[in-house]
Amino acid sequence: MNHSTSKILHILDAFLDFFLLLGAYEVSSLLRMHSPWGEAFWWVDVARFRPLALVYAAAIILIYIAQGEYRTFKRRGLVRELAKALLGNLGGFALAATILYVFQLSQFSRLLLVYYYLLSSVVITVKRLLLHRISLWYAKRRHIIARVLLVGNGNLALRYYNDVVKGKDVSAEYAGYAAQNPVVELPNYLGTVADLHKILESTRITHIVIAEETQNRSELLQITAIAENYGIKVSVIPVYSDFLSSRTMDNTVNGLYVIDLKMQENCDIMGVNIVVTDMDKTMTLLESQLEQWRGKYICVANVHTTVTAHEDAEYRYIQNHAVMALPDGGPLSQFSRRQGYAAAQRVTGPDLMKQVLAVSAEKGWRHYFYGSTPETLQLLRKKVEERYPGVVISGMMSPPFREMTPQEDAQAVAEINATKPDFVWVGLGAPKQERWMAAHEERVQALMIGVGAAFDYEAGNIKRAPMWMQKHNLEWLYRLMQDPKRLFHRYLKTNVKYLLWTWRSGE
């Protein structure tokens, strides 16, 4: 169900409540007319106080909206929903009583108001539970109800299983569980976490709930990365959940605090979706997604590329169409943290290339280097072979400093693919390298990563800024001192524009 359809349904739900409340007034009036208590009450009295019933109903609907009752159809049981309805309707009851007092409508029956309050609470409760059951039936019939894969076999997993499968209020369908070994208490053992790819291929899963007694960060990252490749939601029940409180009922399941996990969150900076990540998370993503990302590309973004993309719609599309736009520039990760993304860290192209090369011999990854000059590539090969023993360099190419003909380009792609690389490192400089990767998406059968000056850094042509300058976002100043003629105009133009944009954004 898309967002617009869901919104329309919730609006209709509010209108349904309004008419049910008006109907409850009419039934309450009948009860009052035939009540053995109080003075005589006639149809003329019912008609006289219908405007008050309208005010009462409208007030209750506003209270329900404020309580968030129209955000979901999910309900939590008769007693809880009745208590919520009684509490919400109390506001309408108090408003009606206030109107009676202010306008001195002493002839209005207080008994009718009590009948109306109680009956309207019951009617709303029954409607909510009935609508909840209808939505569950529809979801199951259309196969759109959550199909849960449980990860774990300890107490947390058992508690979640009992709520989802055995609880009276079933809002999800249990598919099975993954753990190191099967246990008697849980049915339908599907395998270990290492078998997750096979499980997701063979079983329809829409939601993974991690409920392990011991939670390993790298395993959480791996599960989340794999799940996102299949478009599957991932949640985790922290082992300390009993000490947490929830602001909304949707965050808790039978007293367990459930936190949704996302491998790739993006922060919008000048229209560019900069991924919220760090080096560990990025490396985990590369390892888990490499086969799925073959033929695609990763951009390494800084202030210069972000400002350029802000002003160039085509280039902005290229950046946002990448599987990731990494925050190479310190100001970008700093901006993300100010937006509330505490985990945002800088991931530079040179550092990422070093990290990938460092584990490549163990992983069996093959590398192709595209860009720079033949002299730099020769130095690069020598340095890589010295620093990373066992790394396989499948090939290198220094393209001409002009636009290649279609025939030359096709030949270059064929040469790259013939070497069967896993990574193609592109060092053409921005924005040329991003445009080249986008133009060769799905043509080059490897993951392309644009790393700018990383070839020169690794070859030793350019020195990296001292670590203290990197940590304080001053690497741009070090680069400027190394190459002032080329970089002065770029930094003056883009950095000032970025600072003005952040100032206007209140950051």
Do 322 and 444 sit in the same domain of this protein?
A: yes
Do 160 and 293 sit in the same domain of this protein?
A: no
**Per-residue pLDDT, 424:** 98
**Per-residue pLDDT, 106:** 52
**Per-residue pLDDT, 371:** 95
Do 49 and 179 sit in the same domain of this protein?
A: no
Say if 495 falls within a structural domain. Answer: no
* Token pair belonging to 103: 């306008």
Say if 471 falls within a structural domain. Answer: no
**Using CB atoms within 10 A of its CB, is residue 208 exposed (0-12), middle (13-18) or buried (19+)?**
buried
Can you give the residue range of the structural domain that contains 84? Answer: 3-141
How many angstroms separate the CA atoms of 98 and 115, rounded?
17
Do 232 and 169 sit in the same domain of this protein?
A: yes
Domain boundary among 91, 110, 141: 141
**Per-residue pLDDT, 31:** 83
- Number of neighbouring beta carbons within 10 Å of residue 478: 15
**Per-residue pLDDT, 38:** 66
Do 295 and 240 sit in the same domain of this protein?
A: no
Do 213 and 269 sit in the same domain of this protein?
A: no
Return per-residue pLDDT of the chain as tens, 507 residues: 444 566 777 788 888 988 998 898 889 888 878 777 766 767 777 787 788 778 878 888 888 777 677 766 666 678 878 887 888 777 777 776 676 666 555 555 677 778 888 888 899 899 888 887 787 676 666 555 678 899 999 888 888 888 766 654 455 788 999 999 999 999 999 999 989 989 998 998 988 999 888 877 778 888 888 887 787 888 888 776 444 443 333 344 555 667 777 667 789 999 999 999 999 889 988 988 898 899 999 999 999 999 999 999 999 999 999 999 999 978 898 888 888 888 789 999 999 999 999 999 999 999 999 999 999 999 999 999 999 999 999 999 999 988 999 999 999 999 999 999 999 999 999 899 999 999 999 999 999 999 988 999 999 888 877 777 777 667 767 777 777 777 677 777 787 888 888 877 755
Do 20 and 137 sit in the same domain of this protein?
A: yes
- Give me the CATH number covering residue 153: 3.40.50.720
* Token pair belonging to 332: 């970008």
**Per-residue pLDDT, 397:** 97
Domains of the chain: total: 3
Say if 58 falls within a structural domain. Answer: yes
Helices (H), 322-466: 330-338, 349-363, 374-387, 406-418, 432-439, 454-459
Q: How far is CA 107 from CA 51, 56, 104, 145, 312, in A?
A: 15, 18, 9, 52, 71
Do 288 and 231 sit in the same domain of this protein?
A: no
Do 118 and 221 sit in the same domain of this protein?
A: no
Judge whether 49 and 108 are in contact, CB under 8 Å.
yes
Domain boundary among 95, 119, 141: 141
Q: What is the pTM of this model?
A: 0.57
Say if 104 falls within a structural domain. Answer: yes
Say if 473 falls within a structural domain. Answer: no
Say if 63 falls within a structural domain. Answer: yes
- Give me the CATH number covering residue 428: 3.40.50
Say if 507 falls within a structural domain. Answer: no
Say if 479 falls within a structural domain. Answer: no
Domain boundary among 244, 261, 278: 261
How many angstroms separate the CA atoms of 245 and 243, rounded?
7
Do 205 and 120 sit in the same domain of this protein?
A: no
Do 151 and 170 sit in the same domain of this protein?
A: yes
Do 422 and 398 sit in the same domain of this protein?
A: yes
- Number of neighbouring beta carbons within 10 Å of residue 319: 24
